[in-house]
Each structure stands twice: as C-alpha cells, then as structure tokens.
Amino acid sequence: MTIKTLKDVQVAGKRVLVRVDYNVINSEGGPVASLSRLRASLPTIAYLVQHNAKVVLCSHLGRPGGKMVEGWSLLPVRNELQKLLGMSVAFAGDCVGPVAQTAVATLKPGQVLLLENVRFHPGDEKNSPDFARDLASLADLFVEDGFGVVHRSHASTVGVAQHLPSVAGLLLEKELAMLSHVLDNPRRPLVAIMGGAKISDKVAVVESLLNRVDALAIGGGMAATFFRAKGWATGASLVEADAIPFAGKAMQQAQARGVKLLLPTDVVVTLLPASAKDPSKLKGDVATQVVPADHVPAGCAIVDVGPATIEAFSAELRRAKTVFWNGPMGIFEVPAFSHGTRKLVDELTGLKDVTTIVGGGSTAEVVEALGVEGRFSHVSTGGGATLECLAGQELPGVAALKGKHPVGG
C-alpha cells in the first residue's frame, strides 16, 4: 500500500494535528517512566517546526475510562518534551472544545502545543464520529506518527483521517520501512528470536515468520509450551495448555519448510515456593540452578535460558545478515533471571554488518534499561502494532492514510 508522507506536502502556516504515542507513565500519578517514545517523535516535530507549521500534538495516556483523571494528565509529559525539544511547548487542558480551540488559535508558525489526554473523552476509544470531527476541526492536516497505536481503530488514529488530508509522519514511515525490510526484502540469512512469557499472543507472528526466516530461536517462558509439546516435563513453569497443539504444529512446519527451529537446550530454574504461583513476583536473592531443558525438576520453574542455549543462539546470529528480536529470554525484571537476556543483548550489539531490529513493548524496555538503544539498527516503538504488522495484518491507522481526501502539495 502506498501512502503519502510528511515530506510530500506543504505545511508552512498550516495547523498540523500530529497523533503521537506518549503513553509513557505506567501508573496513575506516577513519573514519566521512559523517554524513548518522546525521543522517537522529535524528528517529525522538528521538521514541522523548521517548516513553520503550527504543531498540535495529541496522545492518550493510561486508561482513565473516558473521564478526566488528574493522575493521567499529559502535563508531566509536556514538561519532559520541552526539555528534549529545547523549546517551549504550550499545553491545553482539553483536547476538544473551547479550551483546545483557544489554545490552537493562539499558536504561531513554528510553535508547538500538546493537547490533554484524548482518553479523557469516551469518544476516542469508541471512534465516535462526533469526537473525531471535533478533534479534526483543530487542524488543516493530520499526521499519523504514533506507531504504537496504529493497530487501534480509535477516533484519534482512524476517525480524524476521515475529515482531514492525512499523511504518515517520519517515525511511522521509518517503522513501516524497517518492518517491511524483515517481511519483504531482508538480507539473508534472516534469523528471528522470539521470547517473552506467552505464545498465545504471538501465534500469528510465529506462523508468519516461519514463511520468511531461515532460523527461528525460541526462548523465554513461551519455550515451556514447546517443551510440553515435545512431551517434556516442565515442573512448576507457566505453560499455556491451549497453545501446546500450536507449538507442536509450528515445529512440524519448521521442519517441512527447512527452517531451523532452535529451542533451549539448558534452562535456569528456581524452586517455586508453594505460596508463589508466579516466579516474576519473586524478589531479592533467589537460588537458581542450570539443568538440561528436558530434565526440569518437579516444583521448579523455568526462569531463564542457560549458557549453552545462549551460545547456540549466538552461533546462529553470527551467520545472520538480518535479525529480528522480540521478547526477553527470561524474567528480566528479576536480576537473578536476567542473565540470558543480557548475554543475548551483548551478542546482538556486537554483530557487524547485520541489520538488527528490536520489537517494541517489553523488548524495547529491556534495551532502554540497558542503555543500548543506539546500538541497534532500529528499536520499534510499537508493541502490539509491531506484532500485528509482522503477522501480515492490516493496521487500521495505516489503512486510514490511503486517503479519502486529496492531499494538497
């Protein structure tokens, strides 16, 4: 699908509504937890400022339930954005209505305004035509740049595009280009590494990757479901029983298609106390041991991959020309269970002449926590959007840019 981008249109003097993804506070009233999505939006904002547009930013934050909740205000995000931009950013206490209209009316070319949380209105998530029309009335042009939300059919991602000429921002353009590289034209060998706790929300992605990759490595908690499909005992590990048949099918498909599917050969386990059903809740010093993947002791939970597994995965990576990674190898937030992921990151960031793409969500959080964002070819800002894109699914926010309205030059 061909879509127009920001550089295809004239923006000087125009009111430009930019949908960004500033969902960067994890709890009501909490601090800004991550600056990565703010930084990712800077090129689009800077381009618009340099080309004398009146920049109006809109985003959601948290789940306030369609009403104004002070703890989910975007005001703290505005304060961080000002620091990153090195310029003043105006703030409107609402995203539609008289408050927003007045704030936009006072903007001069080259200035930036951040609207209050769009989810303070129920019409956003409901994709209300009236709410979309009110939001669109603030601008002459719509720029979709919040890749992390383009898989949602909301008023601020889809509905607005029904009322305004609409184009992709620089971040969205980059995200789609990098993921298209994996899907359509990768340098080979192409190796994918999938981790994380669950396989159920990655079924479509695994199916899609098996049609494209030369090798697929499985780590993280989801590996336990593959072990069960092989008939191995998994102790007290979390296993998605409903996904066991899929895991077995995936292994058969990999063999039939000549795709090398790598599972852990050794794993790190910890004895799970009877009172603890979830190993991710364990804190402090936790005793662990490395065991063969097919000999997990009863009462023990798999919490990380072992050193032999990381070496096997690394050997495959050293042969690759393109790598896509989504999901940690263990329970990264518990220090005792983070070694496999850290070793994997060391290997990935040391590769030469290899395109390395990191899926969003928790994987991007790991990369940011380790301070190595700049050492990958691309770190996606999307979570669900990244996975749905790789699964070959249409992203509503991107489809909306096909354009029922002509985009002027």
Active site residues: 37, 198, 361, 384
Q: Which residues have CB under 8 Å from 47's CB, separation 6+?
A: 6, 7, 170
Name residue 93's amino acid.
G
- β-strand partners of 358: 325, 379
- Supply 179's token pair: 């993921």
Residue with tokens 């035509």: 129
- Supply 392's token pair: 């070959």
Rounded-to-integer distance, Cα 288 and Cα 300, Å: 9
Task: Indicate the burial class of 404 (C-beta count within 10 angstroms; 0-12, 13-18, 19 or more).
Answer: exposed
The single-letter DSSP state of residue 127 is T
Rounded-to-integer distance, Cα 142 and Cα 155, Å: 12
- Sheet of 289-292, strands arranged across: 289-292, 266-271, 300-305
3-state secondary structure of 249: helix
Rounded-to-integer distance, Cα 181 and Cα 304, Å: 30
Count CA atoms closer than 13 A to 208's CA, side-chain side: 19
**Using alpha carbons only, what angle is made at residue 60 by residues 397 and 118, rounded to the nearest 5 degrees?**
95
Q: Where are the alpha helices (DSSP H) in 125-266?
A: 129-136, 170-184, 203-210, 223-229, 244-257
The number of angstroms, rounded, from the C-alpha of 321 to the middle of its chain's C-alpha atoms is 23
Residue 379, phi-psi category: left (phi > 0), alpha (psi -120 to 50), beta (remainder): beta
Q: Nearest 5°: phi and psi at 112?
A: -125, 140
Q: Which residues have CB under 8 Å from 333's CB, separation 6+?
A: 280
Shortest CA distance to 16 belongs to which of 60, 59, 48, 63? 48
Residue with tokens 């704030």: 103
The number of angstroms, rounded, from the C-alpha of 396 to the middle of its chain's C-alpha atoms is 16
